[in-house]
Amino acid sequence: MLRILVLHGPNLNLLGNREESIYGTATLEMIDAALIKLGGQLGAELVIRQSNLEGELVNWIQEARRGYHGIIINPAAYTHTSVAIRDALAAVDLPTIEVHLSNIYRREEFRRHSYVSGVALAQISGFGASGYLLALRGLCEEISATGSKSSSGGSTSVSGAKTSAHW
């Protein structure tokens, strides 16, 4: 069974109550429930965590070296500021998919740079909550196909218009 770490960054605990025109109406609990359901169908055990603290996210990434096959991360605002998260992901060398609910390339200029994307297998942005499910499917397929614990081989970016999903 694959074991995947899912990390949600700062302010994602407020989903469903903040800027619905940007982030949609799904709550973090709804996203997590959908991920767990899909994980069961794909034969993946998920450990899901959220933190507003950069150091806590770094610690969880480092701990993933033992016992995990890959990481899905929405670093949220730390995407654009955290070299520490980027370095932790590079150090653990696990296949990682970066997820963003909104299309960061259609937003403010400062949001268009990601420190994480350079060490991620792929980036999915702009598909709302469905992006997490795309990330889980893609990560499970990649790990199963390669049997690799490495995220080398370049980055792929998938962006799209925000879509709605029934959670």
Pairing of strands 44-50, 96-100: unpaired
CA-based nearest residue to 159, from 105, 79, 108: 105
**166: annotated active-site residue:** no
Per the annotation, the verdict on 113 as an active-site residue is no
Residue for token pair 């799209």: 160
Catalytic one of 23, 78, 115, 132? 23
* Catalytic pick among 68, 69, 100, 132: 100
The string over 120-150, giving b where at least 16 C-beta atoms fall within 10 Å of a residue's C-beta and e elsewhere, is bbbbbbbbbbbbbbbbbebbbebbeeeebee
Pairing, β 96-100 against β 122-125: parallel
Identify the three-state secondary structure at position 162: coil
Q: Which residues are catalytic?
A: 23, 100
